[in-house]
Structure 1
Amino acid sequence: MTMTLKASAAGGGKVAIFSGTDLAPFNDPQAHLDRLYFHSDLAYPTVIQTVTGSFTLPALAASAGPAYTNPAIVLFAHGRSGIPAVLGRLTSPAVGWCGSVPVQMDQYGAGRFVTLGADATHVVAHAVWWCHRTGGFPAITLTYEIDILDLILQ
């Protein structure tokens, strides 16, 4: 499939990258989203702030299980009106913070997982764990890097 880069100074200047050689995606991007890789008329979410920090999950005894979800762990105030889209990375351990990320596992296959989210005022984390009756988890400090996007979800 042919890739086309088209730019036009006429009409305020447009730029597009699309598949194919006809100009339909350039002229009517909404009707040809399946062929577009980029079009300057479309709005794309952008990162407006990156915040780094850390939080500590306390030690967890086997008697605290078998399954438990803690209240939201407030990481920081995002300062946006509404609930913003957030993207995150745990930097220690180094892993993308997508979905429920395992941060501790024991020899029985039980684990401690963290998820990233936001509410109307704060970026938050949730920790969920499943403990074997004879196991537990030591305290762990996690460091993160979180991007706040200009996209308001709600």
Structure 2
Amino acid sequence: MKIQSQKDFFSGLMFTAMGTAFAAGATSYHVGDAARMGPGYFPLLLGILLAVLGLVAVAGALTVRTADGEPIGRAAWRPLLLIIGANVVFGILLGGLPSIGVPAMGLIIAIYALTLIAAMAGTSFALRPTLILATILAVGSYLVFIVGLKLQFQVWPTFIS
């Protein structure tokens, strides 16, 4: 059987693999049943749903004809590394890294760093809209997590607060 759409085929394989991995991981928790759901119930169902969705995408990629086979292009390494790096920097700034002497900088600075680094992954970067977005995200996160949910974690760097 010939692959009609490489993009759909490989994305379907990725969905199936991730769904299967999450479903398998969820079985290490108590699953329960529909009336008394355990902590593994929802991740198990989501994993199964994702795996089934992936299989549907693979089946579609094998049966639905496309003009050029939708080949997979080159990997976009710069955006990939910037997005992953933005998340790593966010985690380090939020909690600090005491083993190398990096103090926790808090939620607000971590959100600004995350937004600025992730925005550089796009094709065009404009500082002003990025700072506006970062401000909206910082204020929204503060309101939701600190004020609304009353979570206890550092908002500002230690030397400020």
TM-score normalised according to structure 2 size = 0.26
Q: Which has the bigger relative contact order, CA under 8 A and spacing at least 6?
A: 1
TM-score normalised according to structure 1 size = 0.26
